[in-house]
Structures are given as C-alpha cells and as structure tokens.
Amino acid sequence: MKAITVWQPWATLLATGQKHNETRSWKTSYRGEILIHAAKTDHSGILLHIPMEELKHFQDAGVVNKLPTGAIIGKANLVDCFQIDEAYRRKLQRENPAELAFGDYTIGRYAWVMADAILFNKPIPAKGKQGLWNWEGDVQDER
C-alpha cells in the first residue's frame, strides 16, 4: 500500500480527519488508499513559532501534546490533487481558517485532498521515506 511520511503534529491531524489537505511542493497522479506515517523526528517544537491566532487551531484540535513518531498511525483516501492559487487561499480564509493554519498554502504548491481518514488504535513502527513509498506490512488489525 502507498504511504507518505508527514511530520507531527500534521500527521495526527491528517489521521484524525481534522486536516483535509496535505500540502506539498510536488503533484501526484496517485489516487486511492494511503497510509499516514509520522516521521521519526519530532517537529512539534515548531508550534512555538506559530502565531497565537493560528496556534489556537492546533490547541482546539488537541495536537499539542506528545504524539507518536516513527510509525504508521492511520490511513486515508487520496481523492484529488490540485495546484494552490489565490482563489483557493481566499476560500480557505473565509470557510476554513484551521485548514489554512495546518498547511503551507503558498501559491504554486499542491493540495493533496484526503478523505475518510482513520486513526489506528496502535501505531505500527516503521521507517519512513521521502515521497510516496510502498508499505509491505499488514495493517488489517490496527483499526
């Protein structure tokens, strides 16, 4: 199954369905189930540098505590991928400011649209990789 490595706390936001887009500098034509792997390095300290008005969205989502790293923590369906433009940024500002706070919506980057997110009950230890990568292990009993 395809997988993508994401830093915390963004990995947990994706796996819990609180973040709907994973923003990347590159597009993908892949559509379908994708495992969400939380990178081994804990980058949650970056939250200290987020403006207070944006940090509130992270606090409301409950992702400011210690989060699992170095593991597959959930899965979702990758249903679309499109290039971010000014109109989409304005739409997020109006309709979903939390989503805007949860990604890098610089014009020209890509939004990977996720749906049907599932957070696994037990993280599956795994070494992540850059880009889309294949996970050969089992995930059936982790929900």
pLDDT, position 67: 82
Cα–Cα dist 18/15, whole Å: 8
pLDDT, position 113: 98
Answer yes or no: is 136 within a domain.
no
List of E strands, 7-131: 21-24, 32-38, 71-83, 110-125
Name the 3-class secondary structure at 99: helix
Answer yes or no: is 143 within a domain.
no
pLDDT, position 41: 81
Per the structure, the complete domain to which residue 15 belongs is given by 2-131
> What does the pLDDT average to over 20-39?
97
133: which strand partners?
3
Answer yes or no: is 89 within a domain.
yes
Answer yes or no: is 57 within a domain.
yes
> What does the pLDDT average to over 42-67?
64
Q: What are 70's two structure tokens?
A: 């170095």
CA dihedral 20, 28, 26, 118 (to 10 degrees): 30
Name the 3-class secondary structure at 77: strand
Please give the residue that has the higher pLDDT: either 98 or 24: 24
Name the 3-class secondary structure at 111: strand
The pTM of the full predicted model, rounded to 2 decimals, is 0.84
Does residue 56 surpass a pLDDT of 70?
no
Structural element, H or E, at residue 57:
helix 52-61
| Segment among 33-37, 77-81, 122-126, 139-143 with least mean pLDDT | 139-143
Looking at the structure of the chain, the number of domains it has is 1
Does residue 142 surpass a pLDDT of 60?
no
CATH number at residue 88: 2.30.130.30
What is the 8-class DSSP label of residue 94?
Answer: H
Answer yes or no: is 138 within a domain.
no
Mean pLDDT of the chain: 88
pLDDT tens digits along 86-121: 999 999 999 999 899 899 999 999 999 999 999 999
pLDDT, position 108: 98
